[in-house]
């Protein structure tokens, strides 16, 4: 199977780390060049966008990093990790319920500062916090800004357990939010279950399970399945710009195109055949490449010199211009 370039939304299973998922997929996809966006805890399930081949460099350039989770809080219990995989440190009788929960949830909406948990991959002085936590150490941390856009109550699957749908910004720790909600209720709390239903532009409806993906790969059908999304998917909010062959050559060479007849801003760029080339930006009439994601096929394009990169009023000098 030819190594694909693109993004594969995976429904991560419980008990797997995000790295475990990549390790399992390397053989199936025929490449070691894999990355992911938005690490999930081993207990968590749901959307994990896996970036393949040339698409790996798009992971940190996504325009939308917001997330949506379905989280089940367990009241009356506190653990060292903030979820039920940890050691129970405290249990108390639960004397509050849905009414009290509804009353405190509005306090957690909007912009706020959140202290990263000790059991996390956040690095302090180059050392992940979880390594210190495993040694029983506590490291001084600095609260970080987060935003919680909405919290919807979804019901109580078991006595003392309450499920919420939470839409939030990148960097929000739902385990910490669960503990903070418990504090507001006057009882300890921990996270009993967590499922990510959206990560940026990717939704749970686009995801496939590991068994499905591995079976399709073994049958040689993964490349034609439509499951691997094109890299430009993450840049969909940007306007599209189609360029001719002259400007395409300049983009490949890193040459600016002056007097370019397009509004200032960032663009998804395509050639005349509709192939996605990459990201470019126009500033004060000058078009410059930001990042290319395509395979270069025409060596002759490299021979067009940078000093021919101007575009006159008709947008045709040096072969440049909008088509």
Assess contact for 10 and 208: CB atoms under 8 A: yes
C-alpha span between 133 and 187 (Å, rounded): 23
Q: E strands along the chain, which residues?
A: 6-12, 34-37, 45-52, 67-75, 77-79, 88-91, 110-114, 123-124, 127-128, 144-158, 161-168, 189-199, 202-203, 208-209, 240-242, 265-270, 276-283, 286-292
Tell me whether residue 41 is one of the annotated catalytic residues: yes
DSSP code of residue 121: -
CA angle 48/39/83 to nearest 5° reads 110
List 11, 41, 83, 180, catalytic entry? 41
Which positions ≥6 away from 255 have C-beta within 8 Å? 304, 305, 306, 309
Nearest to 314 by CA among 239, 266, 268, 261: 261
Three-state SS string over 93-111 comes to CCCCCHHHHHHHHHHHCEE
Between strands 67-75 and 77-79, the pairing is unpaired
Task: List, in sequence order, the alpha helices (H) in the chain.
Answer: 18-29, 98-104, 129-134, 174-185, 210-218, 245-253
Distances (CA, A) of 220 to 24, 140, 228, 242: 17, 50, 13, 33
Active site residues: 41
């Amino acid at each position: 199977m030819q190594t694909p370039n693109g993004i594969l939304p995976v429904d991560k299973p419980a008990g797997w780390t995000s790295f475990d998922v990549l390790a399992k997929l390397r053989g199936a996809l025929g490449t070691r060049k894999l990355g992911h966006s938005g690490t999930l805890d081993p207990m968590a399930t749901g959307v994990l966008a896996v970036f393949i081949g040339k698409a790996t460099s798009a992971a940190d350039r996504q325009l939308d990093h917001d997330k949506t989770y379905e989280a089940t809080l367990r009241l009356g219990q506190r653990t060292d990790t903030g979820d039920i995989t940890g050691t129970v440190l405290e249990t108390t009788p639960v004397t509050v319920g849905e009414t009290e929960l509804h009353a405190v949830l509005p306090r957690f909406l909007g912009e706020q500062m959140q202290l990263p948990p000790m059991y996390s991959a956040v690095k302090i002085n180059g050392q992940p916090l979880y390594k210190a936590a495993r040694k029983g150490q506590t490291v001084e941390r600095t609260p970080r800004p987060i935003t919680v856009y909405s919290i919807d109550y979804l019901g109580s699957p078991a006595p003392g357990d309450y499920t919420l749908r939470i839409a939030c910004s990148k960097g929000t720790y739902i385990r910490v939010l669960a503990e903070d909600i418990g504090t507001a209720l006057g009882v300890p709390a921990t996270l009993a279950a967590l499922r990510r239903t959206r990560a940026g532009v990717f939704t749970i409806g686009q995801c496939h399970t590991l068994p499905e993906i591995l079976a399709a790969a073994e049958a040689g059908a993964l490349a034609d399945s439509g499951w691997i999304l094109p890299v430009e998917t993450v840049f969909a909010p940007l306007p599209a710009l189609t360029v001719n062959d002259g400007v395409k050559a300049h983009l490949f060479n890193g040459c600016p195109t002056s007097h370019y007849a397009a509004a200032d801003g960032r663009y998804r760029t395509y050639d005349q055949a509709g192939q996605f080339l990459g990201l470019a930006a126009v500033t004060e009439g000058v078009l410059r490449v930001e990042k290319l994601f395509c395979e270069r096929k025409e060596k002759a394009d490299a021979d067009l010199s940078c000093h021919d990169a101007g575009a006159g009023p008709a947008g045709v000098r040096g072969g440049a211009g909008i088509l």
